[in-house]
Amino acid sequence: MPGKLAPGLKYLFDDVPESGSLKEIAPGVQWLRMPLPMALDHINLYLLEDDDGWWIIDTGIAIGPTQKIWEQIFETALGDKPVKAVLSTHYHPDHTGMAGWLCEHWQVPFYMTQAEYLSGLAFSRMQSEHFSWNSANYLKQAGYSEPQIERARKRFGGFGDYIKPMPTAYRRLVDGSNLTISGRRWRVVVGSGHCPEHACLYNETLNILISGDQVIPRITSNVSVMAGEPEANPLKDWLASHERFLDILPEDALVLPAHNAPFHGLHTRLRHLIEHHEEHLLALEEACVDSAPTAMELLPVLFKRELDDSQVGLALGECIAHLNYLHQRGQLARELNAGGQHTYRSIDDTLHLRLRRHRAEIDDQPILQV
């Protein structure tokens, strides 16, 4: 079973395919599930059948049984057609890990947006020695202790362990451009926030959106600031992308996400995601009224569970994304304390009114019987 969904969302199927097996979504659209060696234990990949071959949409991670599964797919599931193209929605290793190997194996072109291709090249070549004074300063300002900084230094640069060498060339995907596959036009729809230039694909005839990590039905994609761009505002990009998707994509589209399972309820989910982050923003503002905490001290506001060292980095990046958003909107003041750490203080006079309105809205919601 794919897991329980919020009201307004509905899965296409009651089950999911076994790892390494295909399930037909629509004529010429196949769903392939690959394992991941982490808490999020799978990724959904998609194969689109063209007249003279197959397009692979996202590739899986370059460790574990992924390559063996692909070899089995080639032997048993493609009929008499070869792979003709590989496309990655974005640069993260579960989406691009096998892209280089697939393109070399079949000697076929690789499709990606420019920002994602260049990001993938950079991160795949990053080594532990690239942990610089900038990296240490970013963590110190966020509230890391010196021992925590040293542990982060030792873990740095592992991205390349999960990805085969990137394809040596690519064909650029651009927002609004089209790919014609088996006579159908798939429009490139670019979103941002989770990564710089995430490519989704929408086909009007089938009313299908291949959403990658931009829209997922049960989990929220990480939206993070990283040391390489400490003043970035990815949450602003994320929220703007979701508002734009509400405008340009139909409510009844079938969504094929990279995680969980295909579902209906696109607009409902987009609104859920926007509201989720707006609630986090409000909670952070409230937490900065009576004190001036650091980003590390604010993690429990966003994450109620205990985080281990492997989770703190992503959680911190997400927390700073929210803090940068509020700071750049003039709702939080940011200062550097005597210890070299950024502290945050609420300065928006409308906060108490917005909190009162939010609590009234919660009180007006019906109680759900579970």
The verdict on 36 and 117 lying in the same domain is yes
pLDDT for res 359: 86
pTM: 0.94
The verdict on 303 and 260 lying in the same domain is no
What is the gyration radius of the CA atoms in the chain, in angstroms? 22
The verdict on 64 and 197 lying in the same domain is yes
For the stretch 228-261, pLDDT in tens is 999 999 999 999 999 999 999 999 999 999 999 9
Q: Please, are residues 139 and 227 in contact by the beta-carbon 8 Å criterion?
A: yes
Domain count, the chain: 2
The verdict on 110 and 196 lying in the same domain is yes
The verdict on 235 and 86 lying in the same domain is yes
Mean pLDDT of 77-101: 96
Q: What is the CATH number of the domain that holds 220?
A: 3.60.15.10
The verdict on 20 and 127 lying in the same domain is yes
What secondary structure, in 3-state letters, does the chain show? CCCCCCCCCEECCCCCCCCCCEEEEECCEEEEEEECCCCCCEEEEEEEEECCEEEEECCCCCCCCHHHHHHHHHHHCCCCCCEEEEECCCCCHHHHCCHHHHHHHHCCCEEEEHHHHHHHHHHHCCCHHHCCHHHHHHHHHHCCCHHHHHHHHHHCCCHHHHCCCCCCCCEEECCCCEEEECCEEEEEEEECCCCCCEEEEEECCCCEEEEECCCCCCCCCCCCCCCCCCCCCHHHHHHHHHHHHHHHCCCCCEEEECCCCCEECHHHHHHHHHHHHHHHHHHHHHHCCCCCCCHHHHHHHHCCCCCCHHHHHHHHHHHHHHHHHHHHCCCEEEEECCCCCEEEEECCCCHHHHHHHHHHHHHHCCCCCC
pLDDT for res 363: 66
| 354 has a pLDDT exceeding 60 | yes
Residue 122 domain-assigned (yes or no): yes
Residue 4 domain-assigned (yes or no): no
Instruction: Determine the Cα angle at 320 with ends 91 and 190, to 5°.
Output: 35
**Measured between alpha carbons, how far is 135 from 196 in angstroms, rounded to an integer?**
20
**Measured between alpha carbons, how far is 101 from 88 in angstroms, rounded to an integer?**
13
Domain that holds residue 188: 10-275
Residue 205 domain-assigned (yes or no): yes
pLDDT for res 283: 97
Return the exposure string of 142-168: e unless at least 16 CB atoms fall within 10 Å of the residue's CB, then b. Answer: bbbeeebbeebbeebbebbebbbebbe
pLDDT for res 14: 93
Residue 5 domain-assigned (yes or no): no
pLDDT for res 220: 94
Which of 250, 275, 300 is where one domain is finished?
275
| 53 has a pLDDT exceeding 60 | yes
Going by C-beta distance under 8 Å and a sequence separation of 6 or more, which residues neighbour residue 247?
Answer: none
| 213 has a pLDDT exceeding 50 | yes
The verdict on 223 and 299 lying in the same domain is no
Mean pLDDT of 65-82: 95
**Token reading at 172:** 């650029």
Residue 367 domain-assigned (yes or no): no
**Percent of the chain surpassing pLDDT 90:** 85
72: left (phi over 0), alpha (psi -120 to 50) or beta: alpha
Residue 86 domain-assigned (yes or no): yes
Which of 223, 246, 275 is where one domain is finished?
275
The verdict on 287 and 234 lying in the same domain is no
pLDDT for res 365: 55
Q: Please, are residues 334 and 143 in contact by the beta-carbon 8 Å criterion?
A: no
- When pLDDT is cut at 50, 70 and 90, the band that residue 367 belongs to is very low
Q: What is the CATH number of the domain that holds 299?
A: 1.10.10.10
For the chain, the average pLDDT equals: 94
The verdict on 283 and 154 lying in the same domain is no
Residue 193 domain-assigned (yes or no): yes
The verdict on 232 and 287 lying in the same domain is no
| 368 has a pLDDT exceeding 60 | no
Which of 275, 299, 316 is where one domain is finished?
275
Residue 368 domain-assigned (yes or no): no
pLDDT for res 130: 81
The verdict on 169 and 263 lying in the same domain is yes
The verdict on 148 and 76 lying in the same domain is yes
**Measured between alpha carbons, how far is 306 from 303 in angstroms, rounded to an integer?**
8
